[in-house]
Structure 1
Amino acid sequence: MTDAGDPVAALIAAEGLPHDYAEVVARDWQPLATLIARRAAGRTPLIVGINGAQGSGKTTLCRFLELLLKRRGLRAVTLSIDDLYLPRAERVQLAEQVHPLFATRGVPGTHSPALGMAVIEAVLAGRAFTLPRFDKAMDDRAPGGTNITGPVDVLLFEGWCVGASPQEDAALAKPVNALEAEHDADGTWRRLVNLFLREDYARLFAQVDMLVMLQVGSFADVRRNRALQEDKLRAGQPDAPGIMAPEQVERFLDHYERLTLHMAADLPARADVVIPIGPDQRPL
């Protein structure tokens, strides 16, 4: 039975995690929360970027950090870059007017960096704000959002490409997979993605004070973990139009492969904290 007096045990149960996940919290997430609290001392609000490939456990980590920071007297809220996705209608328009591959959410160019900047500016000013929400099962922005009142001490800004830097132009010449070879043969899409990353996204990521990277071993791990995520979505909303079949998940991830591989090589040297993640989605 869950100890009703233990918030960590209650969250482990709510997340459907095994009982021994308490060891991960004590060994890995507690020290990280302590480090964030020390960084925040005398410098709030603090913007903490949480980078990690799909299925690396960013959402779970942020939920535990919110709880652990609360114990330290700090109010933390989480903004996911996924919740900054453009509505489906806008992505369809982008695909029609710019490049067909922008119809699929994920890469730079399919979010609203301005929306993210507005949230961060409100946090820094101590104003009330609304956290946007994106419904992945519907593949569209959800109506409304979560209203946050009062000052926030720590904003956890999580996302698969948070903190990513643009690639060198020469690195864009060769396709990394069949999707790029067949649907972006002239490199237009990947050059535009890189341009977005160099401009609007660079300004957004520059707001991060501390960057944490959840480092997944390989892109094969990413594919496996993302498939598990889709299984959970399917279990919760089996008839939702945004749910993908296994072959659709594979094609979906092809959009992410280039930047994921680039971050694997580039980001560890720039992140403040790097936490290797094993095949079981737990820190090594």
Structure 2
Amino acid sequence: MAQVQAVFAQSPRRPAVIGLCGAQGSGKTTLARAVLKACEGAGLRAAVLSIDDLYLTLAERQTLARDVHPLLATRGVPGTHDVTLGLSVFAALDAGERVALPRFDKAHDDRAPQSEWPSSPLECNVLLFEGWCVGARPQARVDLLVPVNVLEASEDVDANWRTYVNDSLSTAYQTLFARIDRLILLAAPGFEVVQNWRLEQEHELAANVGKGGKVMDEASIARFVAHYERLTRFILQEMPGRADLVIRLDAARQPVEIRERT
């Protein structure tokens, strides 16, 4: 909360935007909700937006899969978000307007109806912008040549998918991330823990899913997180050197080190 209050006091813009990055299952959503509650308790008008809620619709991703690369049917990587939608939300918040905050229904793998989107407060003071690749930067092109896993080696032989993802991250996403006033990284001990963390998330989703919802089994989870592996590994390597606050986690998601950039 001290970080939030410092950003709010120092930022010339409203809302002050706190970027919260962390691998799947690292606890970003839980932390964002706790900070939201603390903000409200301190009298600040606050809202939470997840980059996951900016995913393209299922139909839009199916079009990308047909026209660009089949792997783009799977939500998650840069290139599968509606960045224009995110920028429009930021612009409305910057103008002090009350704005509908997009929501994505992961159980149905599609955007939730707009009637189900919550509204931000009028003249929002703080926006918590969280997501697995929030604040990420692209890799050097030469680093895309060697596959990082079986998915890339067998289904992206010519590197077209990962190049499209990297190029997407290089352009509009950087405009979106430029609005972040303070970047916080929840740093996993390594990519190796992410599959188990994501599996725990799926168990929670299964417990809450409604009629017609879909959940993934362990094999599907392993394939799903493989889409995220390259950029997650790069974030864990590159972002700690520039994030404003790094919270290093152990495999049980307990903080083992907290370091603030000076």
- Structure 2 length-normalised TM: 0.93
Give the one of 170, 176, 184 matched to 1:204. Answer: 176
CA shift at 1:219, angstroms? 1.1
CA shift at 1:118, angstroms? 0.8
Aligned to 1:191: 163
Aligned to 1:136: 106
CA shift at 1:148, angstroms? 2.4
Q: Secondary structure at the match of 2:167?
A: helix
The residue type paired with residue 49 of structure 2 is: L
Runs of at least 4 residues off by over 6 Å: none
Structure 1 residue runs of 5 or longer lacking an equivalent are: 1-32
Aligned to 1:69: 39
Q: Secondary structure at the match of 1:129?
A: coil
Aligned to 1:115: 85
- 8 Å contact from structure 2 (residues 8, 126) kept in 1: yes
Range moving further from structure 2, 72-81 or 48-57: 72-81
Q: Secondary structure at the match of 1:211?
A: strand
The 3 A distance-change label for structure 1 pair 241 and 39 is: closer
CA shift at 1:205, angstroms? 0.6
Aligned to 1:274: 246
Aligned to 2:150: 178
Q: Secondary structure at the match of 1:131?
A: coil
CA deviation string 1:250-272 (max 9, x = no partner): 00001000000000100001100
CA-based RMSD: 1.2
The residue type paired with residue 252 of structure 1 is: F
Aligned to 2:260: none
Structure 2 Cα separation of the partners of residues 240 and 270 of structure 1: 43
Query: Who wins on radius of gyration, i.e. which is larger?
Result: 1
Q: Percent identity?
A: 47
The residue type paired with residue 164 of structure 1 is: A
- 8 Å contact from structure 2 (residues 45, 121) kept in 1: no
Range moving further from structure 2, 203-212 or 239-248: 239-248
CA shift at 1:241, angstroms? 4.1
Aligned length: 252
CA shift at 1:45, angstroms? 1.7
CA shift at 1:76, angstroms? 1.4
Structure 2 Cα separation of the partners of residues 282 and 172 of structure 1: 32
CA shift at 1:73, angstroms? 2.2
Matched, 1:36 2:8: no
Structure 2 Cα separation of the partners of residues 206 and 261 of structure 1: 22
Range moving further from structure 2, 114-123 or 155-164: 114-123
Structure 2 residue runs of 5 or longer lacking an equivalent are: 257-262
- Structure 1 length-normalised TM: 0.86
